[in-house]
């Protein structure tokens, strides 16, 4: 049975003297009765699919509604001028998050991580880092296991669908997974990656799912940027030695409680939040 | 149980894992349980599926699944036209379903020979789904593992028959659920298995006293 808590995964790491990612891989191989090597190949395939998807981005394409599509290209042009507020690397993270979000809205092939709406967060953090710095690919595949393991525990204790728990469950979870993953790449301990995840989740707790017209376009594409930047900040805090005073498992439980209390108009129904704004209603009239 | 590749993944065509990829899976599991492409399908969309389904391509995704497409199939946006070419009639309607999850679809399938199957399922995000009703009986399974579904009379011995036949074929039961409408009435067993249940075992079961219908969802099967 897969891990039901980060504590349970930590306990195995300590008992067997292994890293967090390895505990996730071992559990996957045992649960599905496959060889470790086959599990690795499959994960490497997911990593490759992420790399491929970013490269299929076409700034000339627009979604069917015409609301999104070109944002990745606009950001890239801007960062090429070398005068961004957030710095070159963070601007690249933002551009990649936009590209993936636009790819999804334009019905291109993407990797759900953990969902399609949040598909930009993890590659924005991991792929950008991989291409910017000299990191062995093995390290990135390990980081994918970290992200998947964390996501699995969130799925077991809470949920990953906007319709069930709001955007905190989608971009929030993606951000928590990405924070933990990049923390591992930077040499963080299992406790540090747990803190990174907890801080990322807390920062986005309560985030509602309010897509205009019910389409995964506005505000979803840009929220991937928010999730990616938040993940980087949470990972940096954890690597600095800052801890989450609330244990990560309890943060996940709190997210579940918040999601349960969230009104249905704020859970992917296209009714509340910015979906209910005057402008959104005008846009919807035009589209449908 | 969620595999880590349900968390990272699926590799899919956008825009929504719950409303597009999950909907393809619901259609595909319907088709796999039915055993063939239906001649006619009526689809009800409930809750968020009804409210926002069109913008997410939920309707096209469900039909794509019924045609045997998987969530990463680039033909999903064209499924309505492909259904016409392949001779499958379909009707899609919004409908309020009682006590249903917000992302629920109900599919009624009919074959040329009159065979029917009614399935209700909901999408839980990340491309994963749960089947909640089969031919009007409440059930609860994911369709992620091999699943044997047995419709039987609620009478002594049926569960023993099923476990005996599976034992004879060397099949390990991963999980087992039993449901019944009322005492002595219609009942259903949902058995998730570690191995594929062979045709011979299904035929053996179909011949048993009290067993009315046997369906097997083979997830190892290549389309």
What the block records as the tokens of B117 is: 């199957």
- Whether A152 sits inside 8 A of B13 (CB atoms) is no
Confidence of residue A65 (pLDDT cuts 50, 70, 90): confident
Q: A231 with A198: CB under 8 angstroms?
A: no
Three-state DSSP class for residue B94: strand
Overall average pLDDT of the A216-230 stretch: 97
Q: What is the DSSP letter of B72?
A: T
- Whether B8 sits inside 8 A of A24 (CB atoms) is no
Window 150-189 of B: residues touching A by CB (8 A cutoff) are: none
Window 188-207 of B: residues touching A by CB (8 A cutoff) are: 194
Digit-coded pLDDT (tens) for B94-137 = 999 998 998 999 999 999 999 999 999 999 877 889 999 999 99
What the block records as the tokens of B18 is: 């719950």
Overall average pLDDT of the B13-31 stretch: 93
Give the residue with greater pLDDT, B54 vs B145: B145
- Peptide linkage before A189 cis (omega within 30 of 0): no
Q: Kindly list the residues from chain B whose CB atom is less than 8 angstroms away from the CB atom of residue A100.
A: none
Query: What percentage of residues in chain A have a pLDDT greater than 70?
Result: 100
Q: What pLDDT was estimated at residue B222?
A: 44
Digit-coded pLDDT (tens) for B190-211 = 999 999 999 999 999 998 999 9
Q: Kindly list the residues from chain B whose CB atom is less than 8 angstroms away from the CB atom of residue A113.
A: 7-9
- Whether A215 sits inside 8 A of B56 (CB atoms) is yes
Predicted TM-score (pTM) of the model is 0.81
- Whether B125 sits inside 8 A of A169 (CB atoms) is yes
Q: What pLDDT was estimated at residue A134?
A: 87
Give the residue with greater pLDDT, A203 vs B223: A203
Confidence of residue B139 (pLDDT cuts 50, 70, 90): very high
Q: How far apart are CA B148 and CA B113, in angstroms?
A: 23
Pairs of CB atoms within 8 A across A/B = 171
Give the residue with greater pLDDT, A233 vs B54: A233
Q: A37 with A134: CB under 8 angstroms?
A: no
Give the C-alpha distances (Å, rounded to integers) separating B139 from A56, A264, A283, B94. 41, 25, 41, 23
Q: Kindly list the residues from chain A whose CB atom is less than 8 angstroms away from the CB atom of residue B105.
A: none
Q: What pLDDT was estimated at residue A95?
A: 98
| Residues 6+ positions from A236 with CB-CB distance below 8 Å | none
Q: Kindly list the residues from chain B whose CB atom is less than 8 angstroms away from the CB atom of residue A164.
A: 102, 124-125
Q: Kindly list the residues from chain B whose CB atom is less than 8 angstroms away from the CB atom of residue A214.
A: 48, 51-56
Q: What pLDDT was estimated at residue A68?
A: 96
Q: What pLDDT was estimated at residue A255?
A: 98
| Residues 6+ positions from A179 with CB-CB distance below 8 Å | A125, A193, A196, A197, A199, A200, A230, A231, A232, A234, A235, A238
Q: What pLDDT was estimated at residue B1?
A: 52
Query: What percentage of residues in chain B have a pLDDT greater than 90?
Result: 74
Q: Kindly list the residues from chain B whose CB atom is less than 8 angstroms away from the CB atom of residue A147.
A: 7-8
Q: How far apart are CA B204 and CA B193, in angstroms?
A: 17
- Whether B51 sits inside 8 A of A270 (CB atoms) is yes
Q: Which of B15, B54, B103 sits opposite A107 (nearest CB)?
A: B15
Q: Which of B14, B21, B123 sits opposite A105 (nearest CB)?
A: B14
In this structure, chain A runs to a length of 288
Q: How far apart are CA B63 and CA A185, in angstroms?
A: 42
């Amino acid at each position: 049975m897969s891990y039901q808590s980060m504590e349970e995964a930590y306990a195995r790491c300590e008992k067997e003297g292994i890293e967090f990612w390895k505990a996730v891989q071992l559990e996957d191989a045992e649960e599905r009765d496959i060889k470790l090597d086959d599990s690795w190949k499959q994960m490497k395939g997911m990593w490759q699919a992420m790399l491929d998807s970013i490269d299929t981005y076409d700034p000339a394409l627009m979604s069917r509604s015409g609301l999104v599509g070109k944002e990745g290209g606009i950001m890239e042009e801007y960062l090429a001028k070398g005068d961004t507020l957030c710095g070159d690397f963070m601007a690249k993270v933002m551009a990649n998050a936009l590209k993936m979000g636009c790819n999804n809205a334009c019905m291109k092939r993407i990797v759900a991580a953990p969902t399609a709406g949040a598909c930009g967060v993890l590659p924005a953090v991991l792929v950008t880092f991989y291409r910017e710095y000299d990191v062995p690919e093995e390290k990135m595949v390990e980081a994918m296991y970290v992200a998947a393991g964390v996501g699995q525990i969130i799925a077991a204790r809470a949920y990953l669908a906007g319709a069930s728990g709001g955007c905190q469950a989608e971009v929030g979870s993606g951000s928590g997974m990405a924070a933990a993953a990049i923390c591992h790449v930077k040499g963080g301990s299992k406790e540090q990656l747990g803190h990174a995840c907890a801080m990322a989740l807390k920062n986005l707790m309560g985030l509602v799912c309010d897509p205009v017209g019910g389409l995964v376009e506005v505000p979803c594409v840009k929220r991937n940027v928010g999730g990616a930047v938040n993940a980087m900040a949470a990972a940096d805090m954890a690597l600095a030695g800052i801890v989450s005073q609330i244990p990560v498992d309890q943060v996940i439980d709190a997210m579940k409680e918040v999601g349960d209390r969230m009104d249905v108009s704020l859970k992917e129904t296209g009714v509340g939040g910015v979906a209910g704004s005057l402008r959104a209603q005008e846009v919807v009239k035009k589209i449908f | 149980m969620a595999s880590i590749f349900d968390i990272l993944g699926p590799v899919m065509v956008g825009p929504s894992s719950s409303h597009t990829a999950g909907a393809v899976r619901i259609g595909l599991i319907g088709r796999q349980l039915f055993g063939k492409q239906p001649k006619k399908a009526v689809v009800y969309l409930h809750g968020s599926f009804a409210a926002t389904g069109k913008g997410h391509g939920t309707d096209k995704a469900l039909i794509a699944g019924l045609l045997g497409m998987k969530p990463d199939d680039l033909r999903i946006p064209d499924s309505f036209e492909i259904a016409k070419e392949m001779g499958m009639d379909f009707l899609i309607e919004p409908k309020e379903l009682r006590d249903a999850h917000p992302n629920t679809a109900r599919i009624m399938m009919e074959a040329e020979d009159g065979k029917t199957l009614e399935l209700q399922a909901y999408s839980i995000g990340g491309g994963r789904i749960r089947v909640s009703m089969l031919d009007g009986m409440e059930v609860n399974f994911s369709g992620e593992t091999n699943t044997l579904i047995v419709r039987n009379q609620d009478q002594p011995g049926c569960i023993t028959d099923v476990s005996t036949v599976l034992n004879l074929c060397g099949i390990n039961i991963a999980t087992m659920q039993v449901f019944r409408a009322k005492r002595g009435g219609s009942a259903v067993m949902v058995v998730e298995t570690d191995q594929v249940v062979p045709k011979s075992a299904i035929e053996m079961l179909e011949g048993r006293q009290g067993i009315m219908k046997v369906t097997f969802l083979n997830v190892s099967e290549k389309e």
